[in-house]
Structure formats: structure tokens, C-alpha cells
Amino acid sequence: MLVLFTPLTLRSVTLPNRIAVSPMCQYSARDGLPNDWHLVHLGSRAVGGAGLVIAEATAVDPAGRISPEDTGLWSAEHRDAWRPIAGFIAAQGSVPGIQLAHAGRKASTYSPFTGSGGVADADGGWTPVGPTTEPFVAAYREPVALDEAGIADIVAEFAQSARWAVEAGFQVIEVHAAHGYLLHEFLSPLSNTRTDAYGGSAEGRLRFALEVVAAVRAAVEVPVFVRISASDWTEGGLTVDDSVEIARALAAAGADLIDVSSGGNVPHASIETGPGYQVPFAEAVRRKADVPTAAVGEITEARQAEQIVADGAADLVLLGRELLRDPYWPLRAATELGARTPVPAQYRRVQY
């Protein structure tokens, strides 16, 4: 029996299939506000049949943006700007989700469209924060090390942004704790050399992420995902065995699914890519931590995606670049696999 096009229920939300749009930064917002680009970009993937459409890394605070062009959700104005986007996604039969994020020491950088390195204050940048004062690379801005009060403020911001997200119509909240952004910076021994309660031991490094997830879980009733980097791909960094323990703790704090990616925390990592190269990480976390997972990374073929879910390596597959190439990939995949899935009435004259 085909599994890719079967529903997945998490808490009170049911995804119509196991295909999700991975959150992908568009670097197209102004003052954090999404616009027509985001409506069309995300909406077209919902029309294309993805069961879950996750909006890009969206900052819980202005200083948490990767670039000045990132989206945000730090005010009621931002909530209201997201409403029509979430509403359109839901109207197509897809579930709208959003990834909440803080870029940490990788904040205040130029978007890929505009340059590279850190953005100066005079050009619209700001001072980033991190676990220490060490920048990601020399070309980035030097961060201020967060104190415990600053950490508590960011925990509260994640919770408030989650509330606004639900008010905007999002039905899944993902906490970004991967790719070298703030929560990953605290998780990894490569970037967290603190000796206080938020550093030192593995338990100390995990504390910030657990507090965020617990706060988000207390703030909303919808499913909460957490994206992690299962491996730092660098000696002395996080390994998949570490991430199994991290995932187990995150689930205990209220996470319903772990979105398993990798890398991003140090510039010199040697990452061995290839088709489905991160799927073994998702499978290890799923089986050893006994928590639902999503697999992501060079998943491009319908039968490949079906096999991942059918084999129990993951409960959900997230596609990024492949859905940029073809927003209607899910409809094509259904045809290729011989599955039945709804097609918009306006497109039924077309054979996918």
C-alpha cells in the first residue's frame, strides 16, 4: 500500500499527505512583513498538493533576522500580514505551518541577493547576539554574549510569536534549532563554550532549547516541530548519538515531531551530500528516540520519497529545492505512484 499519500495526524491536526514544503528563506520582506511574493510562493505550493506548507525562518525579534530582508512575527502587525497567506494555504486543503527562528550570531548579514558578510548599522544592520562573543566567521559581526535575562527574553518572544502565529491561522509551529542559528549555537560544543547554567555539560547546552520548546508548547495547542542539525559534520561537534538524546528531551518538553537536518554551525565542516544523505539521521532519531521525524535533503524522486516513509525512516518528507523547481511535484508524484489525491478544479483538464 502506498504511504506517501496517506494522512498523518499530530494532536488535532491532520496532514492530508506526507509531503511538506521545507522552510526556505526568500529574502523578500521589508521590516519583517510578508507580502504578495510570500502569498504566491507559498500559495502555489499548496495548490501543487503539498500536505504541509511551512513558511520560512521567521524571526521572533528584529535582531533575530538573518538579513534585513527576512520575515518576522514580533508584532500584531506581522500577525495580520501573515493572515491572508495562512488562509490561502488552508483554503487549498494544505496545512499552513511556520518556522519560528532566531539567527543568533549569524544575524545582520547580507542576503544572497545583495552581498556577503555582516551588515553595518549604517546600512540597516544591528549587533547580533550569541552564546559567546565569537563570530561565525571573521566577515560577520561580533555578537554580544547573551546573559540569563537576555535568554529569558528570547524564550518569551518565541512563545508570543507562536501565539500570534496561531492567531494568524498557522496550524503547525516549527522551532528552528538547526543550521548554526541561535538555539543550535547553544546546543553545539563547537560554539557554546559557556560555563554557566546554559553551557558546560550537554544538559546545560540543551537548557535554552528546552525552555523555548516548553514555552511554545504552553502557549499553543497545535503541533510543535523542532528542526535540529543531527550532525555538525566536524570532530568535537554534535553527532547523531547526541541528537538522539536531544530529540528525546525535546519530545519530553512538548515537541511532536523532530525535523532532522544537519550542519551549518561551523564554516569548515566537510559535509558528504548525495540523494537522501540526511535520511539515516532521521531514521536513527525516529527509531532510537521513539519520536516522529521528518527527513529532508536531496529528496527529489517520487519513489524515493515513498520508500523513506514506507520503510519507517521518517513520518514526513520535506522538499526544498525540488519544490522550487516544480511547485506541482506532489501532483506529479501521485500520478507516477498511482495514488489518488485532490487536484484543483481549475487544473483538472491537465494530466499530471
The pLDDT, as a whole number, for residue 141 is 97
The pLDDT, as a whole number, for residue 352 is 83
The pLDDT, as a whole number, for residue 270 is 86
The pLDDT, as a whole number, for residue 45 is 98
Alpha-carbon 47 to chain mean position: 21
Measure the CA–CA gap between 145 and 111, rounded to whole angstroms: 24
Measure the CA–CA gap between 303 and 87, rounded to whole angstroms: 31
The pLDDT, as a whole number, for residue 48 is 97
CATH topology of domain 8-347: TIM Barrel (3.20.20)
Residue labelled with grid coordinates 487536484: 343
The pLDDT, as a whole number, for residue 288 is 98
The pLDDT, as a whole number, for residue 174 is 99
Stated as kind and residue range, the H or E segment containing 29 is none
Is the predicted pLDDT of residue 1 greater than 90, yes or no?
Answer: no
Entry pTM: 0.97
C-alpha cell at 184: 543550535
Nearest to 46 by CA among 97, 4, 7: 97
The pLDDT, as a whole number, for residue 290 is 97
Cβ neighbours for 345, distance < 8 A, ≥ 6 positions apart:
none
Split at pLDDT 50, 70, 90, the class of 42 is very high
Which residues are part of the catalytic machinery? 181
The pLDDT, as a whole number, for residue 272 is 87
Is the predicted pLDDT of residue 243 greater than 80, yes or no?
Answer: yes
The pLDDT, as a whole number, for residue 165 is 98
Query: pLDDT digits over 193-230, tens only?
Result: 999 999 999 999 999 999 999 999 999 999 999 999 99
Query: pLDDT digits over 158-196, tens only?
Result: 999 999 999 999 999 999 999 999 999 999 999 999 999
Please report, as a single letter, which amino acid is at residue 53: V
Query: pLDDT digits over 15-39, tens only?
Result: 999 999 999 999 999 999 999 999 9
Is the predicted pLDDT of residue 342 greater than 80, yes or no?
Answer: yes
C-alpha cell at 18: 506526507
Three-class secondary structure of residue 107 per DSSP: coil
* Beta-carbon count within 10 A of 120 CB: 11
Mean per-residue pLDDT for 89-96? 98
Query: pLDDT digits over 259-313, tens only?
Result: 999 999 999 988 989 999 999 999 999 999 999 999 999 999 999 999 999 999 9
Please check whether residue 289 is in contact with residue 244, taking contact to mean a CB–CB distance below 8 angstroms.
yes
The pLDDT, as a whole number, for residue 351 is 76
Tell me the average pLDDT of the chain: 97
The pLDDT, as a whole number, for residue 68 is 98
